[in-house]
Amino acid sequence: MSEATTQKNIFRRAADWLFGGINMTWVKVIIFAVATAALTAVFLIVPVFDNTSFHEMGVSFEAWILFAVIIMTNCKSPWESAVKTFVFFLISQPLIYLFQVPFSTLGWQLFMYYRYWFFWTLRTLPMAFVGWYLKKGNWLSLLIITPVNLFLAWIGMGYFKSFLLYEFPDHILSFLLCFGQIVLYLLVFFRGWKHRLAGGAAAAALTAYFVISMIAFGTVDTGVTMPLPDDPHFSANATIVLEDSSYGKAMLLDAENGYVQVQAKKYGSTDLIITDGGREYRYEVVVFRENKHDRVDILLKE
């Protein structure tokens, strides 16, 4: 047996164990959730991990997608996959904030950021139910994994822009984790080259589109999801716009609690305007680069 064949067999055995060879008991799900939460909290608390790929584990999706796929593919039914993946996120995500409370100046206010991750936790129920069928390795499986791979490609190209244009090699591990998962899933779950080529072509097309867009339309693509600083309450009929639409777009995610999302396309500042019942509310949106990251702040107008 050649060395290449031996290495291929080792890879296949390792992949088959990771994605289907683990008896995913409830005890293991809970231990997995607590362990990943504790590790993530360490990456967020210890200053040496700031502005690194390890820190991104606490603010981005790529590592958590991998964890979810591991759980889903080691379950025996779609319902087991849905419930165990949901419980994994239901335990791990709030624990990340809980572990940080004693070390943060925000204290318990840190949990205001958990709302975003709680919405995603709820979505894991239907997504993990469908995701279990990834194990079948057929065209349905490819249809399931392709949106995930496209999402990973989109996140990965964001990291690519970061270390290519600003700081090398910051976030290169995050970039490799994103595109490594795409390759891994296509190799592990699909034995036929038709499935692999079709899935790879979709990810490659999105990557090419991202590169072309970056060249044609600029390099800033960042956003923020947060409650407005004065804790306002709006009606369901409230509308939201950026005064200068060239800066990007804004959405009012939760009118009652004043929760907004701003996606920015260039540096500078403009007004965010919310109109509700004939009354106008103005905030300042500031897009800037700080500590190796593009950032968006939403401030009260003076």
Are residue 165 and residue 244 in the same domain, yes or no? no
Residue 2 has pLDDT above 70, yes or no: no
Counting other chains too, the contacts that 163-167 makes at CB distance below 8 Å and 24 or more residues apart are 165/219, 166/289, 166/292, 167/51, 167/292
Are residue 32 and residue 118 in the same domain, yes or no? yes
Are residue 210 and residue 287 in the same domain, yes or no? no
Are residue 25 and residue 174 in the same domain, yes or no? yes
pLDDT number for residue 76: 94
pLDDT number for residue 154: 87
Are residue 230 and residue 184 in the same domain, yes or no? no
Question: In the listed set 178, 196, 217, which residue is the last one of a domain according to the structure?
Answer: 217
Are residue 169 and residue 289 in the same domain, yes or no? no
Are residue 202 and residue 234 in the same domain, yes or no? no
d(CA 179, CA 47): 27
Q: Which amino acid is at 112?
A: M
Q: How far is CA 21 from the centre of its chain?
A: 26
Question: In the listed set 217, 234, 253, which residue is the last one of a domain according to the structure?
Answer: 217
pLDDT, tens digit (0-9, with 9 covering 90-100), for 103-159: 988 888 888 888 889 999 999 999 999 999 998 888 888 999 999 999 999 888 888
Block residue for tokens 């990810």: 203
Coil, helix or strand at residue 202: helix
d(CA 9, CA 184): 15
d(CA 77, CA 56): 31
Number of domains the chain contains: 2
Alpha-carbon dihedral angle through residues 263, 264, 269, 273, given to the nearest 10 degrees: -30
**Where does the chain show beta strands of DSSP type E?**
222-227, 239-242, 248-254, 259-264, 268-276, 279-290, 293-300
Are residue 133 and residue 150 in the same domain, yes or no? yes
Question: In the listed set 191, 217, 243, which residue is the last one of a domain according to the structure?
Answer: 217
**Parent domain of 121:** 3-217
Are residue 76 and residue 197 in the same domain, yes or no? yes
d(CA 230, CA 250): 17
Are residue 41 and residue 178 in the same domain, yes or no? yes
Are residue 183 and residue 275 in the same domain, yes or no? no
**Model confidence band, residue 165 (pLDDT cutoffs 50, 70, 90):** low
Are residue 148 and residue 34 in the same domain, yes or no? yes
d(CA 142, CA 34): 31
Write out the H or E segment, with its range, that includes residue 37: helix 26-45
Give backbone dihedrals phi and psi of 209, rounded to 5 degrees, phi first. Answer: -60, -40
Structure tokens at 221: 């693509």
pLDDT, tens digit (0-9, with 9 covering 90-100), for 191-230: 888 888 988 898 888 888 877 776 665 566 678 888 998 8
